[in-house]
Structure 1
Amino acid sequence: MKWQFCLAATIAIASATPASSETAPSSVAFEEGAIATSLSGKPGDTASGIKVMTTNALGNCVACHTIAALPDVQFPGDIAPPLDGVADRYSEAQLRGIVANAKKTFEGSFMPAFYKTDGFIRPGDGFTGKAAKGELKPILTAQQIEDVVAYLMTLKE
């Protein structure tokens, strides 16, 4: 009787918990720099994408890129290409790959890899000068990458 209760409880919990279709950073499949499928398994949200792109503690894309559609951004950067019309130049898969790890498309790019957790040379532990302990987290989550890509897909000429 006890095992039947445990089995029933396990089945109930498993069916109530949604299956995660998020791709781990170490499992991302790049094809010529592009990532064909969603990293989160969910569509991106453009409003959240704008927040990620304009928030210092998140992606802060506007520190390097200008975006004419966001005229109220304080101190926009101009050291990277403008993002105006980027959806006309790149596919969704290419943009996803560039945001996740631009070095897969543009060797030598100074753009950070926003969805990477390994392969770093001596990563530090938050301004302490000491090597990081434990597993590193990506700068952005899978859903934040999808949100940024959703917004970038709206930037057409």
Structure 2
Amino acid sequence: MISALAAFIAAGLTLSSHTKADELAPYTIVGDGIPISLTGAPGDAARGRALVLARTTTCILCHSGPFPETRFQGDLAPDLTGAGNRWTASQLRLRLVDASRFNAQTIMPAYYRNNGLVRVGRNFAGKPILSAAEIEDIVAFLATLRD
């Protein structure tokens, strides 16, 4: 089986690619989600899968899911199996952008915020953790996870 890091690299991603986007694309929250893609286009589910399984995004450190090839999956957060049934793309997008909109005490990072954050590493100060394209790729992948 291909490792998460190898899949990440094979998908054309680099470990530092998530720090390139300093400016946030504008978005509008409607109800409990962000209905419009941050990039104006759908994401790529294959790249999203590689991102979810890459330890650098931290998803798999807290979440588990239908990833039999990945050892040491987390158990602090909901299992991602069936995520596409439980949440719409709009809801998934907002959870990735800023999970604190749903739970102010969440330990999930705000992956697409660059202000009002605490305990931010020097390399990430003033930058989102993920780019708009990476958010859309992860949304596209999570939406495919159906029971």
Q: Is this a same-fold pair by TM over 0.5?
A: yes
5+ residue gaps, structure 1, are 1-23, 127-131
Q: Distance in 2 between matches of 1:60 and 1:101?
A: 15
Which residue in the other structure is 1:44 paired with?
Answer: 43
Which residue in the other structure is 2:133 paired with?
Answer: 143
Equivalent residue in structure 2 for 1:65, among 63, 66, 75: 63
Q: Distance in 1 between matches of 2:99 and 2:121?
A: 21
What's the C-alpha RMSD, in Å, of the aligned pairs? 2.0
Q: Distance in 2 between matches of 1:61 and 1:121?
A: 19
Deviation at 1:109, TM superposition (A): 1.1
Q: Percent of aligned positions with the same letter in both sequences?
A: 36
Distance 1:154 1:124, change over 3 A: closer
The answer to whether residue 143 in structure 2 is matched with residue 153 in structure 1 is: yes
How many residue pairs match? The answer is 126
Q: TM-score, normalised by structure 2?
A: 0.77
Return the structure number with greater relative CO, CA threshold 8 A, min gap 6: 2
Q: Distance in 2 between matches of 1:141 and 1:101?
A: 13
Q: TM-score, normalised by structure 1?
A: 0.73
Q: Distance in 2 between matches of 1:35 and 1:102?
A: 12
8 Å CA contact retained: 1:117, 1:138 = yes
Runs of 4+ that moved beyond 4 A: none
Q: Which of 1 and 2 has greater Rg?
A: 1
5+ residue gaps, structure 2, are 1-22
Which residue in the other structure is 1:16 paired with?
Answer: none
